[in-house]
Amino acid sequence: MNDGLLSYLLDGSNWQFGATGSIPSLILTHLWYTIQAVVVAAAIALPLGLYIGHTGKLSFIAINAANAGRSLPTLGLIILLVVLMGRGFLPVLIALVILAIPPILTTTYAGIRAVDPAAIDAAKGMGMRPMQVLFKLEVPMALPLISSGLRNALLQVIATSTVAAYVGIGGLGRLLVDGIALNAYERVVAGAVVVAALAILVDLIAAVVQRSVISPGLTGRRVTRRPTKTVPAPSTSPAPTGQPGPGTRTKAPTS
C-alpha cells in the first residue's frame, strides 16, 4: 500500500476527539449502536433460550433460528425495514436485533440442553428447586456456549451496522459508504481498517471476558490438582470406534 491510500487514516485532523465526523466520534457511535442492539437482543434471546432449553418446549424455534438467521441477507432486511418504517435509527436497530437474536438463542438452548442429565438429577436429589437447578447448575455449565453465542452476535452487529450506513445512520460505515459515493478511496480504506481493527479488538476483549467468567472447573485451568490415583476409564462409555464420534458432532453446528 502506498501513502496515498493511507492518507485519510494517518491525517491527524481526522482524529480530533469530539469533532463530528471524526474517526473517534464515529467509533463511539458505532460502539453505541452495537451495545444497544446486543443488549436488546440478549434481553430477548437469553430468557427465551433458557426457557426452551430448560423445559424442552418450543425447541423447533431454537433449532431453526440459527439457519434462518444466517440465510437472511442483512442488507435486504435493513433496507426493507427502512422503506416500510421510514428513515431513522429505529428500523436499523430492529434489523440489528433480529440478526443478533439467532446466535444467542441457539447457543443458549444448545448449552442448556447439553448439561449432563446425571448432574441435573444430582442437583434435584440435593433438594435444589427448578430455578436453583437452572441458575446454579445449568447456566454455569452452559456459559462457554452462551458466551460464544454472544461473541458471534457482537461480531455480527458490528459488521452489519457498518453496512447500515447505506440507509443514513452514523458509525464507521459512513467512511466506507461516503468514500465509495465520493470516489474517495483513501477514506474507504480508513473506514475499513478502523472497523476491522475495532471488530478484532472487541472480539479479543470478549474472549478475555469469556475466559474470566467461565468456571475453572469446566475448562480445567487454575485447578490445583490433588494427587489422585489413576482411575480406569468407566466401562459405561463405549469403546471408541471413530465413526460415531464425528457423526454425533455434526449435530451441534448444523442444528
Partner 1 sequence: MIQYLQNNGPVIQAALSQHVYLALVPVLLGIVVSLPIGYLAVRFNFLYHPLLNLSGILYAVPSLALIVLVPSVLGIRILDPLNIIVALTVYTVALLVRVVADGLKSVDPLVAEAASAMGYRRLRRLVSVELPIALPVMLAGLRVATVANVSLVSVGALIGVGGLGTLFTRGQQLNYAPPIIVGIVLSVVLAAILDGIIVLIQRRTTPWVRAAGRIAS
The contact set with partner 1 (CB under 8 A) reads 1, 5, 67-68, 70-77, 79-80, 82-84, 155, 158-159, 162-163, 166-167, 173, 176-177, 180, 185, 188-189, 191-193, 195-196, 199-200, 203, 240-247, 249-250, 253-254
Question: Is 84 or 118 the residue whose CB approaches partner 1 more closely?
Answer: 84
CA distances from 144 to 70, 111, 212 (A): 21, 8, 11
Question: Is 232 or 253 the residue whose CB approaches partner 1 more closely?
Answer: 253
As a whole number of angstroms, the distance between CA 99 and CA 60 comes to 18
Q: How far is the CB of 226 from partner 1 (least distance, A)?
A: 29
Question: Is 43 or 200 the residue whose CB approaches partner 1 more closely?
Answer: 200
Q: How far is the CB of 136 from partner 1 (least distance, A)?
A: 31
- Using DSSP, state whether 241 is helix, strand or coil: coil
237 residue type, one letter: S
**H helical segments located in the chain:** 3-10, 23-55, 59-71, 74-85, 89-113, 117-125, 130-132, 139-163, 173-181, 185-213, 216-219, 244-249, 251-254
DSSP assignment of 30-76 equals HHHHHHHHHHHHHHHHHHHHHHHHHH-TTHHHHHHHHHHHHHS-HHH
Question: Is 4 or 47 the residue whose CB approaches partner 1 more closely?
Answer: 4
Question: Is 220 or 242 the residue whose CB approaches partner 1 more closely?
Answer: 242
Q: How far is the CB of 9 from partner 1 (least distance, A)?
A: 12
**CB < 8 Å & 24+ apart, contacts of 114-123:** 114/141, 114/142, 114/145, 115/141, 115/142, 116/141
Q: Is the separation of the CB atoms in 78 and 160 below 8 Å?
A: yes
Q: How far is the CB of 94 from partner 1 (least distance, A)?
A: 15
Question: Is 143 or 184 the residue whose CB approaches partner 1 more closely?
Answer: 184
Q: How far is the CB of 246 from partner 1 (least distance, A)?
A: 5
Question: Is 73 or 227 the residue whose CB approaches partner 1 more closely?
Answer: 73
Cell 450506513 found at: 165
Q: How far is the CB of 140 from partner 1 (least distance, A)?
A: 25
Q: How far is the CB of 119 from partner 1 (least distance, A)?
A: 22
